[in-house]
Chain A
Amino acid sequence: MRGFSALFLATGCTVMVAQAHAADLPASIGKGEGNLNVVAWEGYADDAWVKPFEQQSGCKVHRKYVGSSDEMVALTRMGGGKGFDVVSASGDAALRLIFGKNVQPVNVSLIPAYADLMPELKEPLFNTVKGVHYGISYEWGPNVLMWNTKTIATAPTSWSVIYDKAHAGLITVPDNPIQIADAALYLSHTKPELGITDPYELTQAQMDAVVALLKDQRPLVKKYWALASDEVDLFKSGDAQVGAAWPYQANTLRAANVPVQDTIPTEGATGWADTWMISAHAEHPNCAYLWINHVMTPKVQAQQALSFGETPASTKACAEMDAAQPGACKQYHADASAAYFSTIKFWKTPVKQCGNGQSNCLDYAAWQRAWQQVKQ
């Protein structure tokens, strides 16, 4: 079978490859194996929907949270990918997991909620390769600008505030190579002569300009945050007052009565679109399918969206969101998701091949080294 696959690949017959893979897919979901090992973003396996799942399925959920896509990839690869069953990979990690053969193709016909996915997320390039689905799109959202309204009275509308000396020592940004894309997006507006069209496709000259901007920013940065809870602590203690965040931190801080506000500045924002993927070596594949089916139900989609401050991939979640919190569907863009979706530059793994057919873009290893140079 494998020999045939290679032959088909070589001849570029992608449809046939998909069919060859389809033969390996499970035809039905069996009984749960009793356990499920989850690698996820902080806030992605909340008791609010984990407990009901455990009761219904009999699958005990074991959680491991990560702070960055790199950490997610490293963790899922540890021990050859054994030891975890499902992972909530973002777009910049998903392709690395697929090419590293760490995740397995998913039979979407076993997941009824697949039919209700936003069209944009049914087979996005970051989780579907040559027609083969390697997971189910989950939730998505932007990387926002967040600030303390008590110390910064006029609401900022540009990312320029996090590069501004006026806020020296009060800024926090994520400790993550993909953060380079935020700076690239900002430069694509402030220095159009650099010719940055896609913040994930940077030539060496463009990267040099981005690194220079980020190095100028470093003395202004109080701390690079690794976990969402780090940033929450920084804003609580008053050590940071403006920075790049997820809506999750803003929600958490507001719930703790810290006066913060968040926005997508005029330059737009980078963002993430997450996919639940199943390990190529999953020991509990049935529990994995049961889990994905559970979290794709409109109710959990709505719960997750409200607690993290993101937009659900399921088009059926809107009503549930409004039922839980009136106006939430509109607030989290679940009603006009397609238009909102197109304003966000979603994370993807930087590769040598640029979109314009050239191959002089920097790959992810170069991004990692550049980020280390920035942090020094």
Chain B
Amino acid sequence: MSGSRKLLGHAALLLPPFGWLTVFYLGSLSALLLSAFWQVDSMSGEMIHEWTLDNFRILATDATYRIIAERTIGIAALVTVTDIILAWPLAYVIARKVGPRMKLVLLVLVALPLWSSMLARIYSWRLILGHDGVLNWFLRTVGLPEQSFAFTNVALWIVFTYLWLPFMLMPLVSALERIPASLPDAAGDMGATPFQTFRTVIFPLAIPGMAAGSVFTFAVTLGEYVTPMLVGGAGSEFIGNVVYSNVGVSGNIPFAAAYSMILLVVVGAYMLFARRFGAFDGA
């Protein structure tokens, strides 16, 4: 009797979040799935509610969409790796080398850019990388050759790396913080060099932090379209840009839905991969 009442209580507790998930998340997801099998009349713009695999056929046969998907995934992976490398020294210092007051100051500094508009931060990179921008002014002043990173995939790589660095840093800091001081001490007592201690003790224990950070950097870069639009050039299209131009510009929601399925699949696969490395263990 009391057992079934308990069950009922649990169910009642679960109902609101579960209902929310069903309606808002699964609902929109299935609408997306469904519309991927429809088409739009190019003249009248009306949705044709007839089952067709045409959208998927175009995606499979036209090399354009494969190239764009490869570019998107490639740059997202590159940004993730770069952010891991850049985050390490700073995260290590914040987690293990400074006092609590300094730690707070550094963490606030890391989070500070997140308080301003992302759009403003991306535009400011245009001013830095532009032909007559800050970077070239600096290079001219010190007598180095000018560069033309503006509106290239290099610009994309730089700006993405900058944008998502805090999202890699934070999980890495918390992973490093959680390593008990006794472990590296023990390694040292056993005669390990500092590098050996890092390689065999600290690095492996920080892997869940990196995995958690990489879910942010990878998945968020993958779905981006604003940055490619603003700092990308010819040949910088992302999956998100194709989706944007099909929905916002030409009103072809079915095709956009079909293409965005790739994002769902890739992010899903990456989540499973990251989970094996303990990305979600701390949560």
Contacts and interface: CB of A to CB of B under 8 A. Distances in A.
Interface of A: 68, 70-71, 73-74, 77, 95-96, 99-102, 169, 218-219, 221-224, 226, 233, 237-239, 349, 351, 363-365, 368-369, 372-373, 375-376
Contact of B248 (A71, A95, A99, A100): A71
Contacts of A77: 45, 251
Interface stretch (B98-106, B113-121, B231-239): B231-239
B233 A221 contact: yes
A130 B131 CA distance: 52
Contacts of A222: 150-151, 233-234
B123 to A, nearest CB: 10
A96 B44 contact: yes
A239 B136 CA distance: 12
Contacts of B248: 71, 74
Nearest to A68: B249
A170 to B, nearest CB: 9
Interface residues of B, number: 32
Dominant secondary structure at the A interface: helix
B3 to A, nearest CB: 51
Contact of B42 (A169, A226, A233, A364): A364
Contacts of B232: 223
B131 A372 contact: no
B43 interface: yes
Interface of B: 42-46, 58, 62, 64, 67-68, 126, 130-133, 148, 150-151, 229, 232-235, 237, 242, 245, 247-252
B43 A99 contact: yes
B131 A238 contact: yes
B150 A239 contact: yes
B62 A226 contact: no
B234 A218 contact: yes
A365 B151 contact: no
Contacts of A102: 45
Contacts of B252: 365, 368
Contact of A373 (B42, B64, B150, B247): B64
Contact of B44 (A99, A223, A233, A238): A99
A343 B251 CA distance: 32
A102 B44 CA distance: 9
B62 A369 contact: yes
A74 B249 contact: yes
Nearest to A77: B45
A237 B249 contact: no
Contacts of B151: 222-223, 239
Nearest to A237: B130
Among B126, B133, B229, B249, find the residue whose CB has the most chain A CB atoms closer than 10 A: B249
23 contacts: A70-B245, A73-B45, A74-B249, A99-B43, A99-B44, A100-B43, A100-B44, A219-B234, A221-B233, A222-B233, A223-B151, A237-B131, A237-B132, A237-B150, A238-B130, A239-B131, A239-B151, A365-B42, A368-B42, A368-B252, A372-B237, A372-B245, A376-B235
